[in-house]
Structure 1
Amino acid sequence: MRLEASVEIRRPVAEVFEYLSDVGHYPRWMAHVVEVRTAAPGAPREGDRFVVTIRSLGRRFETPYVRTSYEAGRRCTDRATGGPVPDQRWHSAVEEVPGGTRVTRAVEVASRGWLRLLQPLQKRAAGRQLGEDLRTLKRVIEGS
């Protein structure tokens, strides 16, 4: 399953990417994320490892990730290395547009076993949440 959504933010590309690529900001704009623990402090880079804790269906779930690619000021990709849905990749990219920056986020998930049966429902719910999270990101970065 692949989902993709975009939003335009009235801020410069460098500012948007700096905020977007810092996993410490995830709880501020991703509704289900309650905590992110990083393995090493410092600026984001390829090879970073971190654990995202989400709250869903009244429970907490932890998923470890590794940042598999990082192009400063342009794009990055994070791959789950475990957790309840271990086969997922999150792609984030920014590009300059008139008046600001377009942020595009995409997720690729390989559902297995009984989760495949739920894929149509998951796709609809995850697509809605992806869009809501990007709208929140826009509000947070624009300060509105």
Structure 2
Amino acid sequence: MAVDVLTDVVIERPCAEVAAYAGEPSHAPQWYVNIESVVWRTPAPVAVGSRMDFVARFLGRRLAYTYEVAELVHGERLVMRTAQGPFPMETTYTWQPLDPHRTRMTLRNRGEPAGFARMSAPMMAAAMRRANRKDLANLKRILEERP
């Protein structure tokens, strides 16, 4: 069973500002509840082919994986993928200006769990949805509190 979780939020900040902050992988531990660290394997800045090692905690487990940037349209879309572990994952961010001062950001996680993870896919999707809502709320708070 595939997992496909789509979450969005409206942030009271210009699109370029939201995309610049959220699209910088080094910022992930500041706004993602479960991400503990990000270490670049390729030189910054983010570009197609960039690779970063992420360490996260999810459902009580420590996960270490490498994301590779598969697609990047600055200010509009960022797609990262990992093929590692029991749950290969694709994460997509999109940013859409609603007006000059508001942005709709979407966060989509999708993947095809393998092995034991396949049986727990519905539970993983629900937990991912809850975590994504918290993550986007954190991002909104961080960006809207900026001067």
State the TM bucket, normalised to the shorter chain.
over 0.9
1:61 Cα shift? Answer: 2.0
How far apart, in 2, do the equivalents of 1:123 and 1:89 lie? 13
How far apart, in 2, do the equivalents of 1:42 and 1:119 lie? 34
How far apart, in 2, do the equivalents of 1:58 and 1:96 lie? 36
1:60 Cα shift? Answer: 2.7
Q: Judge conservation of contact 2:43–2:50 (CA < 8 Å) in 1.
A: no
Check if 1:90 corresponds to 2:126: no
How far apart, in 1, do the equivalents of 2:102 and 2:74 lie? 17
Q: Judge conservation of contact 1:69–1:77 (CA < 8 Å) in 2.
A: yes
Alignment map for 1:18-33 (pairs within 5 Å):
18-33=20-35
Aligned length: 143
Deviations 1:97-141 (A, max 9, x none): 134100001011101222121111111111111111111110011
TM-score (norm 1): 0.92
Unaligned runs of at least 5 residues, structure 2: none
Q: Judge conservation of contact 1:64–1:83 (CA < 8 Å) in 2.
A: no
Residue 36 of structure 2: SS of its match in structure 1?
strand
TM-score (norm 2): 0.91
Deviations 1:7-52 (A, max 9, x none): 0001111110000110000000001101000023332111100010
Check if 1:141 corresponds to 2:143: yes
Moved over 3 A (4+): 56-59
Alignment map for 1:56-71 (pairs within 5 Å):
56-71=58-73
> Given residue 6 of structure 1, which amino acid in structure 2 is its aligned partner?
D
> Given residue 90 of structure 2, which amino acid in structure 1 is its aligned partner?
R
Q: CA 1:36–1:84 in 2, change beyond 3 Å: closer, same or farther?
A: farther
Instruction: Let me know the Cα RMSD of the aligned residues.
Output: 1.5
Residue 62 of structure 1: SS of its match in structure 2?
strand
How far apart, in 2, do the equivalents of 1:82 and 1:113 lie? 13
Unaligned runs of at least 5 residues, structure 1: none
